[in-house]
Amino acid sequence: DAKTTQPPSMDCAEGRAANLPCNHSTISGNEYVYWYRQIHSQGPQYIIHGLKNNETNEMASLIITEDRKSSTLILPHATLRDTAVYYCIVRVLNDYKLSFGAGTTVTVRA
Partner 1 sequence: GAVVSQHPSWVICKSGTSVKIECRSLDFQATTMFWYRQFPKQSLMLMATSNEGSKATYEQGVEKDKFLINHASLTLSTLTVTSAHPEDSSFYICSASLGKRDWGEQYFGPGTRLTVT
Exactly one of 5, 65, 79, 99 binds partner 1 (CB under 8 A); that residue is: 99
- Scanning 9-17, 63-71, 73-81, 85-93 for contacts with partner 1 by CB under 8 A, the matching segment is 85-93
Count the Cβ atoms, other than its own, within 10 Å of residue 75. 21
| Residue number, 17 or 51, with CB nearest to partner 1 | 51
Q: Which among 18, 26, 67, 70 is positioned nearest to 47, based on CA atoms? A: 18
Please pick, from the candidates 84, 88, 103, 106, the single residue that binds partner 1 as defined by CB under 8 A. Answer: 103
User: Counting contacts by CB under 8 A, is residue 81 touching partner 1?
Assistant: no
Size of the site for partner 1 (CB under 8 A): 23
Q: From start to end of 1-110, where are the E strands?
A: 9-13, 18-23, 31-38, 45-50, 55-56, 61-64, 70-75, 84-92, 104-109
- Pairing status of strand 84-92 against strand 104-109: antiparallel
Given 22, 34, 78, 88, the residue binding partner 1 (CB under 8 A): 34
Binding interface with partner 1 (CB under 8 A): 32, 34, 38, 41-46, 49, 87, 91, 93-103
